[in-house]
Chain A
Amino acid sequence: MSETVTQTKSFGERILEQPGPALVWVLGLLILGALEMGAIAEVTVAIVSALASAFASLGTAVLGGPVLPSISGSIAGGLESAATVAAGLPDLVSRSVIPNQGYQTPDGVWHGTFLGLEPKYAWLLRVALVYGYMFVFLWWLWRGYRTYVANYRTADWTPRDDMVRRLRSHSWGKFGMVVVICFVGMAMFAPTVSPSTGDQNMYNMNAHDIQYFDEETGSVEEISVLQANFQSASQGSGSQNVGLWQYDEFNRFHPFGTLTSPGQDLFTFMAYGARISLLVGVVAISIALVLAAGLGMITAYYKGLADLTVVFVSDTIQSLPSLLVLMLASMVFSHHWLGKIYNGGLLLAVMFGIVYFPNMWRSIRGPALQVAEEEWVDAAKSYGQRSSTTMRKHMLPYILGYLLIYGSMSIGGVIIGTAGLTFLGFGINPPVPEWGRAISMGQAYVTTPAWHISLLPGLLIVVVVTGFNALGDGIRDAMDPESEGEDTSAGVGATGGGA
């Protein structure tokens, strides 16, 4: 009976019994959190205000007028003060702690940068700190999981353990995971890792001034960012070019060089662009996955008419030329409120989700039908389990892995598709940065010294898409040991192609 006693303990009781490891972990988490308190608060506020403004514009669009202006006004006010508070919180790796913008006087001394370092070193330090922090944080979360498994979990083995073990020994999958983490980090910390800021570099160039040392006048001058950018734009000729790892004449450091007129910093553009790509990709894939998973389980569970209906709908969608549909939708909705949210980003995400779901559903359908045939599904029915619960408990866990595989493999396709559409002039409108636009801007200069404008975004897209595919491969092999060692291009997942 002694075993009975140990087994009835709840999670809380098990922690109380042996608090050491849990305490250590929570303490570590608090320290890590404290270092980035400001960023965490800022991100939270940013998300809330983005949501609030989306709702407000939705309300405006749907009801034809501002909804309850006083309320939205007070919310906006509250958010603003929250943002101020958030900005005041300590933040180890923010740009204000390690500034990289400044000017150099003839004596070689840098003014305004972190500890008077050269801007490129200040920037490098900041980027290194951001990524370092991020990886330490993720590692700490992983350690938390290990601590839980080692000390507090009741089961000494679960089927998930095997998957985790297989994923850990899958180097191609781990490579993909690292690439994906770097990409997500770039998007999340775009304001911090960029040499400039989005507002300064893209949205509001005229509202910002910078100081620089003018050799002609021999004094420190002020110039608006707009003008400075115009003068430092890469135009492909030797004198009119700011390439990789160079300073422009205003003492600004451009790790990836500058864009063509109006001459934004390419790295900043890319970092903010990563946000768009990630957002469109994640939203599109989430829509596709939710549709595919929900319909996949319903069709597998009920079969018959439900199945036929979905087959018909998905066939219809698949028979349309998706690229044309996407272009058409961007055109038609370009002046509609839906097309204005995030400069077309949301519209694109929704359209991609709809275009991608039939394929996803078809891929999910086989596994879903298979698990619906399992006797445990019948067993659940035999004791009267509700069908929705049966699907969630007895079917979803078995197709979740497939969802992850197809999701990570298709997100690359969405990223390429978004870039492609933007390249063609549809998709995401300026000034919201999108990698495809950078490629199209640099297209005329590929044979000139300004080759970096097209090449770097192009390379990055390839790397990111490969990373997502590698992660998908890793997950697939972790889920299904039989496919281990197989040719990675064969097997379940189709690689994500263009739109």
Chain B
Amino acid sequence: MSELLQEDDPATNENGPLVEVNGLKTYYDTGGLFGSNPVKAVDGVDFAIDRGETLGLVGESGSGKTTLGRTLVQLESATEGEVLFDGTDVTTLSGSDLKNWRREAQIVFQDPESSLNHRMTIGEIIREPLDVHDWPNFSVAVDDPEDRSVSVSGDGIRADPNESADITVELAGAGPSIAVRDALAMNADSVDVSVSEQSSSVSVSVSVAVSKAQLRRAHVRDLLETVGLREEHYYRYPHQFSGGQRQRVGIARSLALEPEFVVLDEPVSALDVSVQAKILNLLEDLQSEFGLTYLFIAHDLSVVRHICDRVAVMYLGHIMEIGETEELFQNPENPYTYSLLSAIPEPDPTADRERVTLRGTPPSPRDPPSGCPFSTRCPVKIRPEAFRDVDEHTWESVETLREILRERENREMGVRDHAKALLGLETGFEDFVDVAEEVFTRNGSLEAEGVATEGLDDSARIERALDDIDPVAREPLKETIELVLADKESRAHELLVETFESDCGEQSPEHHSVSDSGRTSYCHRHRSEFDDTAVAFDDLLSSAE
């Protein structure tokens, strides 16, 4: 870190955010063997984390939250964008700069079973980072009232002015007085300092009587106690511990190098509920003791509400909404956040928020939808002018059909499909009429509606099924179905998109500021011409009744 900061311009803002992420993208499988689509795990996010705060990062699995966390600690390399840590873009670091920076940012993993090497003792595990970085480096700060230039020799090196030094030598008074940082288990008597003073310079030679190995062992033992384990656990193996204890070991390891920033990747989700609270309390205690900054990744919203100052909600590689925890939980502005929160049982029975169920599963991050990432599932997606007043069933049917065609278009075609397509053979939909019937009828099939299907040919069946659909939408849907039956699926999909698409699927939304506290939400509904999320949901839920 020391070199790093010296290279920096002095404008490093001590009061600015510790971590600032700008336009970050992390793609997997880029430039694969067949030039296939990369997985867009993180697809352009911006946010900042202030010093000492805990930012929660929530989302379903596959939302890219873990990849984002891993990119922040440089376990994945960013495809685009920057991660500023104390003003330095760490995505460009390499070699020893990267290694030095790693001391500042650590990660606690989700699975305590997998994060500790079973063949090493707890002591060795926690000690390894110290060995890698040759901790402690015996940085020496010289407090010289006359402000001369200082050189340090012997066991010590000159301390970085921005860091707390291991050894502080004060030159005022009769002889030099020596102080040793608390984290080092030795007292000042073990340090021998000889000072030679010139008029314009001071050279300090330091020799330390305690070996680094001893200091490391002592530090590991301190850490064990700090995380609530006992010293005698030093020589035990991970198998001799419970999940909660192992997670404590993982936490101790991440703290060994005294980092400023820790990514907590679902640190309690693999643990028993009874243990979770203890670990969360420990994390909070450690944060206040060491002034840590956390990125807390979770899918359990109640845990996030408990521990985080601010929350970012992620969906398909994008941050949908980010803001103060309480505010966001009580008054979600983004349709995705709204749906997500409505899915958890409300602890307050008087709250009038009703449950919204999300249709389908998230699309693959290889083929994210155009426009808003949530547009394929959003219950309150903005409709084009012409269809604003069609009934809920019609709209739902249209969306479902679009999703089916979209998925068929993006599906992985096997070699056989490719060959068939090349030969102009049919790769089409085999039972499309059945599917159409299921999608368009209110009850799922004609039979369920008491219609005798016997003797009906395909077009008659479709005609009957479309009876349940609002007349405004019937014509384009019929045309679509005919195209599909004529094996022109992509044309059919295009037609559907042309007819029923709104801004949601055409343009990426902006991050609208939605409250005085700086909360932002990624949704078109915040534009003045549309209804707000809450209003839209109210309409939706009342129409469903």
Q: Tell me the chain B residues, 27-64 only, with Cβ under 8 Å from chain A.
A: none
Task: Point out the residue from A7, A376, A379, A381 that lies within 8 Å of B234, measured CB to CB.
Answer: A7
Assess whether B119 is in contact with A397, with CB atoms less than 8 Å apart. yes
Contacts of B217 in A (CB 8 A): 7-8
Assess whether A379 is in contact with B115, with CB atoms less than 8 Å apart. yes
Does B257 touch A at the CB level, under 8 Å? yes
Does A64 touch B at the CB level, under 8 Å? no
Assess whether B128 is in contact with A385, with CB atoms less than 8 Å apart. yes
Does A312 touch B at the CB level, under 8 Å? no
Contacts of A386 in B (CB 8 A): 132
Does A382 touch B at the CB level, under 8 Å? yes
Assess whether B239 is in contact with A159, with CB atoms less than 8 Å apart. yes
Does A34 touch B at the CB level, under 8 Å? no
Chain A, interface SS category: helix
Indicate the member of A156, A382, A398 with the most B CB atoms within 10 Å. A382
Q: In angstroms, how far is the closest chain A Cβ from the Cβ of B14? A: 25
Contacts of A11 in B (CB 8 A): none
Contacts of B74 in A (CB 8 A): 382
Assess whether B231 is in contact with A4, with CB atoms less than 8 Å apart. yes
Contacts of B114 in A (CB 8 A): 374-376
Interface locus among B98-106, B289-297, B318-326: B98-106
Does B107 touch A at the CB level, under 8 Å? yes
Contacts of A157 in B (CB 8 A): 236-237, 240
Task: Point out the residue from B118, B132, B250 that lies within 8 Å of A385, measured CB to CB.
Answer: B132
Question: How far is A383 from B110 in the complex, measured between Cα atoms in Å?
Answer: 17
Chain A interface bracket (under 10, 10 to 19, 20 to 34, 35 or more): 20 to 34
Nearest chain B residue, comparing its CB with the CB of A374: B114
Does A380 touch B at the CB level, under 8 Å? yes
Q: In angstroms, how far is the closest chain A Cβ from the Cβ of B79? A: 16
Nearest chain B residue, comparing its CB with the CB of A400: B119
Say yes or no: A375-B236 contact (C-beta < 8 A), given A8-B214, A383-B133, A385-B128: no
Say yes or no: A384-B98 contact (C-beta < 8 A), given A7-B235, A155-B236, A375-B115: yes
Does A154 touch B at the CB level, under 8 Å? yes
Q: In angstroms, how far is the closest chain A Cβ from the Cβ of B127? A: 11
Question: How far is A155 from B103 in the complex, measured between Cα atoms in Å?
Answer: 29
Task: Point out the residue from A7, A159, A382, A398 that lies within 8 Å of B237, measured CB to CB.
Answer: A159
Q: In angstroms, how far is the closest chain B Cβ from the Cβ of A451? A: 52
Assess whether A384 is in contact with B75, with CB atoms less than 8 Å apart. no
Does B81 touch A at the CB level, under 8 Å? no
Assess whether B232 is in contact with A7, with CB atoms less than 8 Å apart. yes
Does A239 touch B at the CB level, under 8 Å? no
Assess whether B237 is in contact with A394, with CB atoms less than 8 Å apart. no
Does B493 touch A at the CB level, under 8 Å? no
Q: In angstroms, how far is the closest chain A Cβ from the Cβ of B232? A: 5
Nearest chain A residue, comparing its CB with the CB of B96: A384
Assess whether B221 is in contact with A4, with CB atoms less than 8 Å apart. yes
Contacts of B107 in A (CB 8 A): 378-379, 382
Does A158 touch B at the CB level, under 8 Å? yes
Question: How far is A375 from B115 in the complex, measured between Cα atoms in Å?
Answer: 4
Contacts of B106 in A (CB 8 A): 382-383
Assess whether B235 is in contact with A378, with CB atoms less than 8 Å apart. no
Question: How far is A158 from B73 in the complex, measured between Cα atoms in Å?
Answer: 32
Contacts of B98 in A (CB 8 A): 384
Question: How far is A231 from B233 in the complex, measured between Cα atoms in Å?
Answer: 74
Nearest chain A residue, comparing its CB with the CB of B111: A375
Q: Tell me the chain B residues, 491-529 only, with Cβ under 8 Å from chain A.
A: none
Does A3 touch B at the CB level, under 8 Å? yes
Does B117 touch A at the CB level, under 8 Å? yes
Contacts of A397 in B (CB 8 A): 117, 119
Say yes or no: A3-B109 contact (C-beta < 8 A), given A159-B237, A159-B239, A398-B119: no
Assess whether B235 is in contact with A3, with CB atoms less than 8 Å apart. no
Contacts of A376 in B (CB 8 A): 114-117
Task: Point out the residue from B235, B253, B257 that lies within 8 Å of A379, measured CB to CB.
Answer: B253
Contacts of A4 in B (CB 8 A): 218, 221, 231
Contacts of B128 in A (CB 8 A): 380, 383, 385, 393
Does B121 touch A at the CB level, under 8 Å? yes
Does B362 touch A at the CB level, under 8 Å? no
Contacts of B17 in A (CB 8 A): none
Assess whether A379 is in contact with B119, with CB atoms less than 8 Å apart. no
Does B129 touch A at the CB level, under 8 Å? yes
Indicate the member of A4, A8, A157, A383 with the most B CB atoms within 10 Å. A383
Mask of B119-130 contacts with A, CB within 8 angstroms, 1/0: 111000000110
Contacts of A378 in B (CB 8 A): 70, 75, 107, 109
Q: Tell me the chain B residues, 171-228 only, with Cβ under 8 Å from chain A.
A: 214, 217-218, 221
Mask of A250-274 contacts with B, CB within 8 angstroms, 1/0: 0000000000000000000000000
Question: How far is A156 from B231 in the complex, measured between Cα atoms in Å?
Answer: 14
Question: How far is A101 from B212 in the complex, measured between Cα atoms in Å?
Answer: 64
Q: In angstroms, how far is the closest chain A Cβ from the Cβ of B68? A: 15
Contacts of A382 in B (CB 8 A): 73-75, 102, 106-107
Task: Point out the residue from A8, A156, A383, A398 that lies within 8 Å of B102, measured CB to CB.
Answer: A383
Q: In angstroms, how far is the closest chain A Cβ from the Cβ of B311? A: 24
Question: How far is A156 from B234 in the complex, measured between Cα atoms in Å?
Answer: 11
Contacts of B239 in A (CB 8 A): 159
Say yes or no: A379-B109 contact (C-beta < 8 A), given A159-B239, A384-B99: yes
Contacts of B132 in A (CB 8 A): 383-386
Contacts of A3 in B (CB 8 A): 231-232
Contacts of A393 in B (CB 8 A): 117, 120, 128
Mask of B404-425 contacts with A, CB within 8 angstroms, 1/0: 0000000000000000000000
Assess whether B221 is in contact with A159, with CB atoms less than 8 Å apart. no
Question: How far is A397 from B124 in the complex, measured between Cα atoms in Å?
Answer: 15
Q: Tell me the chain B residues, 218-275 only, with Cβ under 8 Å from chain A.
A: 218, 221, 231-232, 234-237, 239-240, 250, 253, 256-257
Question: How far is A383 from B107 in the complex, measured between Cα atoms in Å?
Answer: 9
Assess whether B121 is in contact with A155, with CB atoms less than 8 Å apart. yes
Q: In angstroms, how far is the closest chain B Cβ from the Cβ of A373? A: 8
Assess whether A383 is in contact with B129, with CB atoms less than 8 Å apart. yes
Question: How far is A432 from B8 in the complex, measured between Cα atoms in Å?
Answer: 71
Question: How far is A383 from B134 in the complex, measured between Cα atoms in Å?
Answer: 12
Contacts of B99 in A (CB 8 A): 384
Say yes or no: A381-B75 contact (C-beta < 8 A), given A4-B231, A7-B234, A157-B240: yes
Contacts of B103 in A (CB 8 A): 383-384
Q: In angstroms, how far is the closest chain B Cβ from the Cβ of A372? A: 12
Contacts of B218 in A (CB 8 A): 4
Contacts of B221 in A (CB 8 A): 4, 7
Task: Point out the residue from A155, A159, A381, A394 that lies within 8 Å of B235, measured CB to CB.
Answer: A155
Q: Tell me the chain A residues, 151-167 only, with Cβ under 8 Å from chain B.
A: 154-159
Contacts of B257 in A (CB 8 A): 383
Contacts of B121 in A (CB 8 A): 155
Q: Tell me the chain B residues, 112-171 only, with Cβ under 8 Å from chain A.
A: 114-121, 128-129, 132-133
Contacts of B116 in A (CB 8 A): 376
Question: How far is A140 from B221 in the complex, measured between Cα atoms in Å?
Answer: 37
Contacts of B253 in A (CB 8 A): 379, 383
Indicate the member of A3, A155, A397 with the most B CB atoms within 10 Å. A155
Nearest chain A residue, comparing its CB with the CB of B117: A376
Assess whether B102 is in contact with A7, with CB atoms less than 8 Å apart. no
Question: How far is A349 from B250 in the complex, measured between Cα atoms in Å?
Answer: 46
Nearest chain A residue, comparing its CB with the CB of B115: A375
Nearest chain B residue, comparing its CB with the CB of A394: B117
Contacts of B232 in A (CB 8 A): 3, 7
Question: How far is A155 from B119 in the complex, measured between Cα atoms in Å?
Answer: 12
Question: How far is A159 from B73 in the complex, measured between Cα atoms in Å?
Answer: 31
Contacts of B119 in A (CB 8 A): 159, 397-398
Q: In angstroms, how far is the closest chain B Cβ from the Cβ of A285? A: 24
In order of increasing CB-CB distance, the 4 nearest A-B pairs are A383-B129, A384-B99, A375-B115, A384-B102
Q: With contacts A384-B129, A384-B132 known, what are 10 further pairs, Cβ within 8 A?
A: A4-B221, A7-B235, A154-B235, A379-B109, A382-B73, A382-B107, A383-B132, A383-B133, A383-B256, A397-B117
13 contacts between A and B (CB under 8 A): A7-B232, A154-B235, A159-B239, A381-B75, A382-B74, A382-B102, A383-B103, A383-B128, A383-B132, A383-B257, A384-B102, A384-B103, A385-B132
